[in-house]
Structure 1
Amino acid sequence: MASWQFFRLNIAFPLILVLLFLLDGNLMASLGNFLLRGSLHAVPMLTLIWFFYAIQFGVMDKMPFYVYVVIIGVLYDIFYTGIFGTYTLSFLGACFVMERLQPYFDSRMMSGLLLFLIGMLVYLAATYFAGKIIGVGHESHLAFFIFLLLPTSVLNLVLAAIFYYPGWSLLQRLG
């Protein structure tokens, strides 16, 4: 790989990651009335989608991927929760599971979305159980499944499907 490609990927990937991190928070702040309607909560996870694209399209080996995962997890903990470790471990767990399972899935979009769904379930389950352990989550397992997991999964699978091929194209140009 040419040094300019290495430089381009290592500048563009984290820059886009930070922008998506800020966009996640901005979407929740500006569209909160729509995304948090009644008891249903659909949480956009654009940063996790970007990590999934890096794993699915094979560019994670060309950069310090897990360093970016830890940094974004720490930023989530600092800016969005104030509880250190919850999102850091959730992002690490989701990315680790997606990375380990990726060889068993092909590069078609539906297989990729199934891989992303598995990673998203790991991420949401980790944050849910961490909330239960530290005493900030009080909903039942059924309420978590119906009111958070299902709407969040649908929203993020639609977003991942819409941007699947544009994300593939961008990462192929960067890598």
Structure 2
Amino acid sequence: MNNKITSNNRYLRPKIVYPIFLIFLVFFDGSLMSGFSNFLSFYDFSILPNLTFVGIFYAIHFHSDKHFAFWWWLVAVGLIFDLYYTQAIGTYLVSYLVSAYVVYLIDQRMPYQIWSTFWTIATGLLVFYFLVFIAGILVNETDIAFANYIIFTVLPTIIFNAFIEIIFYRPVESLTYIINK
């Protein structure tokens, strides 16, 4: 007996759901940081919610990137992020593309376990924020030491986003199974 839950609804197709979800996450990141800025920035620590990257990771990890033009939508998400938040094209566009490709390469070689996904997303976020830091140095917008940036911004950000990824792993896996079939 086949008990697989699938959807034949034309509005639950991956090429419709995933791009809308990724664009929603771009604006939700900013709203989350704006609404909880006192909670996410304390003392010298800054936690940057990057749920857009978590959504990109889920698309790669659950092989949803094969069901729609993932890399083109990733370029669009990077452009939206750049134009909406930084008013300069290139920083987040390149960072999202390179870090997503790193996650894509690592995810192919890692076992399908929840802790390996933690290390995969942590590596992707590390690459992402390293590229953002380098771009900030190139345009003279960064005046923080690299060690302070890693300790006070990147590590808390990786822990926060990886925690979010682990919490939503099983529900997103189930939803992805329904949408991809």
Q: CA deviation at 1:51?
A: 0.6
> Structure 2 vs 1, CA of residues 34 and 14 (structure 1 numbering), >3 Å: closer, same or farther?
same
1:144-169 CA-to-partner distances (Å, cap 9, x unmatched) read 11110111011101100101111111
How high is the TM-score relative to the length of structure 1?
A: 0.94
Please say if residues 5 and 174 of structure 1, whose CA atoms lie closer than 8 Å, have aligned partners that are also in contact: no
Within 5 A, what are the aligned runs for 1:150-169? 150-169=155-174
Which residue of 2 is the match for residue 34 of structure 1? 39
Which residue of 2 is the match for residue 53 of structure 1? 58
- Answering whether residue 61 of structure 2 is matched by residue 69 of structure 1, we say no
Which residue of 1 is the match for residue 4 of structure 2? none
Higher helix share: 1
Q: CA deviation at 1:54?
A: 0.9
Which residue of 2 is the match for residue 24 of structure 1? 29
1:43-88 CA-to-partner distances (Å, cap 9, x unmatched) read 0010100110111111111110001111110011011111210000
RMSD over aligned Cα atoms: 1.7
**1:7 & 1:150 partners in 2: Cα distance?**
36
Q: CA deviation at 1:102?
A: 1.4
Question: Which structure's CA Rg is the greater one?
Answer: 2
Give the gaps of 5 or more residues in structure 2: 1-6
Which residue of 1 is the match for residue 150 of structure 2? 145
Q: Which residue of 138, 141, 148 maps to 1:136? A: 141
Q: CA deviation at 1:38?
A: 2.4
Give the gaps of 5 or more residues in structure 1: none
Count of matched residue pairs:
174
**1:85 & 1:38 partners in 2: Cα distance?**
30
Which residue of 2 is the match for residue 102 of structure 1? 107
